[in-house]
Amino acid sequence: MTSTVVISARGEQRLEGGHPWIYRTDVGDVHASAGDMVSVRSPRGRILGSALFSDRSQITLRMLSYGETIADEALINRRIAVAHQFRQSLNIDATAYRVVHGEADLLPSLIVDRYGDYLVVQTLSQGMDKLLPVVVEALGSVFAPRGILARNDPRARLLEGLEQRVDVLAGEVPDLITVREGRIEYDVDLRRGQKTGLFLDQRENRDAAALYAHGRLLDCFSYDGGFALRLAPLCRETIAFDISQEAVARVRQNAARHEITIDARVGNVFDELRGLERLRERFDTIVLDPPAFAKTKAAVAKATAGYKEINLRALKLLNPGGILVTCSCSYNMSEAAFAEILHSAAIDARAQVTVVEKRMQGRDHPVLLGVPETYYLKCFILRRVS
Ligand code: SAH
């Protein structure tokens, strides 16, 4: 490895603090080209480790290894194999789950999701993108999948100067793949579905919600019906809302396929909650699983208002003894900030509310301590006491 990058003393401190990213402002001399695997040096020339280099992103370096440990293809192979072993040890009752969760699996900017016999890959930095052939080879030997799809269409790739594209990288990938989560089967369109097809990160929160779901259920931001399908059999009546017609059509199909009764409606949750309030409707279980309102730091103030609004309205619609499962998948919204929004929503709704469970994304999406970016999904299970 001949490419090298020298970082500042402040950058060195960041690494010692456990964060694997070095920003542009902490980078000195660069002898590397876009996407290189580089040797990272201290201002005095000490070898700090190996990293993926980007000549475009604000995140210039993403560490792969520390000290003298050499980052090479074998290291990528080993880490993918270890990530797979860990997921197998979790005994996940589903055929779709995350296999590689980027930084938390020490494979920065690499996402791999498994959908039955198929894998979906995202490479979200120049360096990982350049390693794609190595990743595909490793995935082939660890999983022997029937097909590997690159869902490289996230906007984050634009920050790296990478194109947005979707390609079959190995084998073949049918238009629809059938996977199972618990007792529910889904037909997933890996090429066009949101994220890599399904919201795999909510699997355990759906199961947790099932411990409390009862009475009349309202599932807001339902997508394919992840929460509604899991909880409806436990409830007397279920209404689900999503703004996307296609999503609502899939909720209806999935409900019919499993002989579950769900009243799935197209609607903007902000308007619908207000409408339900006007009609004096009441519910015993409500799920709020909106898209990330705070995609950037600048968007946090507006996002705060959005989260407050839906949580306030939901609490008003909730009967005493009712359960609110409320989520934020914005990593820019900290757990503490989200809890504060929920508190202020409860005050405005004149509701007394207890926190029954505080949860996060599923165990197949672990959080790397010291890297708040890997703790993105917050999920509170609240109970309206009075
Ligand atoms: N709860 C789902 C995932 C939700 S993803 C699950 O468990 O799988 C967020 C969903 O919110 C998307 O399907 C999107 O179409 C929908 N959405 C975004 N803005 C909305 C709005 N204002 N009103 C209703 N749905 C909205």
Q: What is the mean pLDDT of residues 323-351?
A: 97
Q: What is the mean pLDDT of residues 168-188?
A: 97
Tell me what the pLDDT averaged over the chain comes to. Answer: 97
Q: Ligand 1 pocket: which of 206, 220, 242 to mutate (most atoms <8 Å of CB)?
A: 242
Distance 103 CA to ligand 1 centre (A): 26
Token digits of residue 229? 């399908």
Q: Is the pLDDT of residue 1 over 70?
A: no
What are the residues whose beta carbons fall under 8 Å from the beta carbon of 186, sequence distance 6 or more? 96, 178, 179, 180, 198, 224, 254
Tens digit of each residue's pLDDT (9 = 90 or more) over 186-212: 999 999 999 999 999 999 999 999 999
Q: What is the mean pLDDT of residues 221-237?
A: 98
> 134-139 long-range CB contacts below 8 Å, 24 or more apart?
134/73, 134/76, 134/77, 135/76, 135/80, 135/110, 136/169, 136/170, 137/77, 138/73, 138/76, 138/77, 138/80, 138/81, 139/80, 139/112, 139/170
Q: Which residues line ligand 1 (CB under 6 A)?
A: 199, 202, 221-224, 226-227, 241-244, 247, 268-270, 289-291
Q: What is the mean pLDDT of residues 208-228?
A: 98
Distance 6 CA to ligand 1 centre (A): 44
Q: Would you tell me the crossing angle of helices 132-143 and 73-89 to the nearest 10 degrees?
A: 40
Cα distances (Å, whole numbers) of residue 89 to 35, 166, 363: 33, 31, 11
Q: Which atom of ligand 1 is nearest to the CA of 247?
A: 13
Task: Spell out a b/e string for 257-284, using b for 16 or more CB atoms within 10 Å of the CB, else e.
Answer: eeebebebeebebeebbeebeeeeebbb
Band of residue 2 on the pLDDT scale cut at 50, 70, 90: confident
Q: Which atom of ligand 1 is nearest to the CA of 289?
A: 1
- Partners of 2 in the β-ladder: none
Distance 268 CA to ligand 1 centre (A): 9
- Partners of 287 in the β-ladder: 219, 325
Token digits of residue 377? 């999904």
Tens digit of each residue's pLDDT (9 = 90 or more) over 271-299: 999 999 999 999 999 999 999 998 888 99
Report which protein residue has its CA nearest ligand 1's atom 8: 226
Report which protein residue has its CA nearest ligand 1's atom 21: 268
Q: Which atom of ligand 1 is nearest to the CA of 272?
A: 23
Report which protein residue has its CA nearest ligand 1's atom 13: 223
Band of residue 30 on the pLDDT scale cut at 50, 70, 90: very high
Q: What is the mean pLDDT of residues 243-260?
A: 98
Distance 152 CA to ligand 1 centre (A): 21
pLDDT at res. 177: 97
Distance 363 CA to ligand 1 centre (A): 22
Tens digit of each residue's pLDDT (9 = 90 or more) over 125-173: 999 999 999 999 999 999 999 999 999 999 999 999 999 999 999 999 9
Task: For residue 331, give the nearest of 376, 370, 300, 379 by alpha carbon.
Answer: 376
Distance 17 CA to ligand 1 centre (A): 36
pLDDT at res. 231: 98
What are the residues whose beta carbons fall under 8 Å from the beta carbon of 16, sequence distance 6 or more? none
Q: Ligand 1 pocket: which of 187, 203, 238, 243 to mutate (most atoms <8 Å of CB)?
A: 243
Distance 110 CA to ligand 1 centre (A): 25
Q: What residues are labeled active site?
A: 329
Tokens 């660069």 found at: 30
Query: What radius of gyration do the chain's Cα atoms show?
Result: 22
Band of residue 70 on the pLDDT scale cut at 50, 70, 90: confident
Report which protein residue has its CA nearest ligand 1's atom 6: 226
Question: Distance between terminal CA atoms of the chain?
Answer: 64
Calpha distance 276→281 (Å, rounded): 5
Q: Ligand 1 pocket: which of 223, 295, 359 to mutate (most atoms <8 Å of CB)?
A: 223
Calpha distance 266→268 (Å, rounded): 7
Q: Which atom of ligand 1 is nearest to the CA of 268?
A: 23
What does the CA dihedral 8, 12, 17, 19 come to, rounded to 10 degrees? 80
Report which protein residue has its CA nearest ligand 1's atom 12: 223
